[in-house]
Amino acid sequence: MRLLQFLIFFGIVLSVHTLVNYYIFIRGLKTFDQASLLRQLYTYGFWFLAASFFIGRILEKVYLSHMSDFFTWAGSFWLAAMLYLFIAVFLIDLLRFTDRFIPFLDRIIPAVLIAKPYIFTITLAIFTFFLILAGHINATLPKITRIQIPVSKEYTSIADLKVVLVTDVHLGTIISTKRVRKIVDKINALQPDLVLMAGDIVDEDLAPVIRQNLGGILANIDARLGVIGSTGNHEYIGGAEQAVAYLQSHGITMLRDSALAVTDNLYIIGREDVESMRFGGNRRKPLDSIMQNIPEKTFTIVLDHQPRAIEEARQNGAHLVLSGHTHHGQLWPLNHITQAMFPLSYGLKRFGETYAYVSNGVGSWGPPVRIGNRPEIVLINFRPAQ
C-alpha cells in the first residue's frame, strides 16, 4: 500500500515537473534561430538542469557519491529557477494575449528584441541566476527571532527559562556540515536551558546524514534540560523508525505521541506527524489521551510539526503549540498558498487561551534558496502576564 501511494505521488510530481519544464522550454526555444548553436546549447543545457534533481535523488539511493551530490545540488537550484521562469513566461504570455485585443507591445519593446528575441531569453536567464544566488545567500544566514509568551502567576517559576525552537533543519545533502555547524553555534550562543526541535530534522534519506556524521554535529548542542524533538513528515517519508533511532543515538529525546516532564510544572508533548498514517501506517493518538496523565496546573508545550491541529490543542487546554512545516512558502509568492492552507503560516498568534507559534524553519527543502523570508532560530522567553 505504501509503495502504491509513493508511486502515485511520484508520478504526479514527475508529470507536473515535466509539463512545467516543457512549457518554459518551448517558449524559450522559439526565440532562437532554427539552426543556431545557441539553440542547441539551450536545448541540452535546459534538459540537463531539468532532469538533474531526479537523477541526483535516484543516485543517492543507488550510489551515494560526489556525483549524486552534484546532480542533487544542480537540480535543487533548478527547482527555484523553474518557479520564477514559469512565472515570467506565464506573465509574458498573458501580455501577448492582451496584445491581440489591445495592441501595445510594438510601442514598448525595443527594436533589437523584436529582431533578436533570444537576447530577451538570455537576459531573463541571467536575471534569474542572480535572483537565485541572492536567495541562496539569504538561506544560509539564519536570524534569531525573539518572542515572549505571557504566563500566569502559578507558572512564574518557568519565567526564567530560555527555550530555543528549531524546526525544519532538513539534514542531508543540501543542509550539510558547514550549515549545521553554523546552526549549532547560533543555538549555543543563546545559552538555552532547553532546545525543542519540531520535526523535519532529517530530509528523507538518512544515508547522506550518516555519511557526513551530521548527528554528531547536532550532539554538540548544549542545553542543561536537554534537546527534545518530534517527528515531521520528512522523517516519515524516509522511514521514521530509522530516523528516530539515529537522532536519539545522538542525544535528541524524540517524543512520539508522548509527554515528558522537564521541570515540576513544565511538560513537553511531542505529537507524531499527521502524515504518520499515510507514510507509516499508524494513526496518531488524540491529544486528550496524551495529556490525560499530566497533572493539573502544569504548563504544557505541544510540538506538532504541521500547524493543522491548533484548534485541538486549544480545546484540550494546551498553553503553547510550536510548529514548522510551512517554511512560510520559502519562495515568494508561495507564502500566499501556505497562508490559505493553514490556520497560521508564520508567527505568533493567540487562539483563545492557547498561543501558537509557527516557525518558517532554519533550513530549506528542495532549493537551497529563500526569497521573501529568512530562516530563523526562535528564542522563547516567558514573562508574567499583566
SS3 track for 69-110: HHHHHHHHHHHHHHHHHHHHHHHHHHHHHHHHHCCCHHHHCC
Question: According to the model, what pLDDT value does residue 251 have?
Answer: 95
With the C-alpha atoms ordered 37, 43, 48, 49, is the resulting torsion angle positive or negative?
positive
Residues with Cβ < 8 Å from 80, sequence gap 6 or more?
A: 132, 135, 331, 366, 367, 369, 371
| Alpha-carbon span 79 to 85, nearest angstrom | 10
25's enclosing H/E stretch is: helix 2-29
The amino acid present at 214, given as its one-letter code, is L
Question: According to the model, what pLDDT value does residue 165 have?
Answer: 98
Domain ranges across the chain? 2-137, 143-384
CB burial of residue 83 (10 Å; 0-12, 13-18, 19+): buried
Question: According to the model, what pLDDT value does residue 6 have?
Answer: 64
Contacts made by residues 63-68, CB under 8 angstroms, sequence distance 24+: 64/207, 64/208, 64/211, 68/173
> Could you identify the residue written with the cell 534538459?
47
Question: According to the model, what pLDDT value does residue 3 have?
Answer: 61
Question: According to the model, what pLDDT value does residue 105 have?
Answer: 81
| Alpha-carbon span 245 to 153, nearest angstrom | 39
The domain defined by 143-384 carries CATH number 3.20.190.10: no
DSSP letter at 329? G
pLDDT digits (tens), the chain, 386 positions: 556 666 776 788 889 999 999 999 999 999 999 889 999 999 999 999 999 999 998 888 888 888 999 999 999 999 999 999 999 999 999 999 998 898 888 888 787 777 788 999 999 999 999 999 999 999 999 999 999 999 888 877 888 899 999 999 999 999 999 999 999 999 999 999 999 999 999 998 898 999 999 999 999 999 999 999 999 999 998 888 999 999 999 999 999 999 999 998 899 999 999 988 777 678 899 999 999 989 888 999 999 999 999 999 999 999 999 999 999 999 999 999 999 999 999 999 999 999 999 999 999 998 999 999 999 999 999 987 76
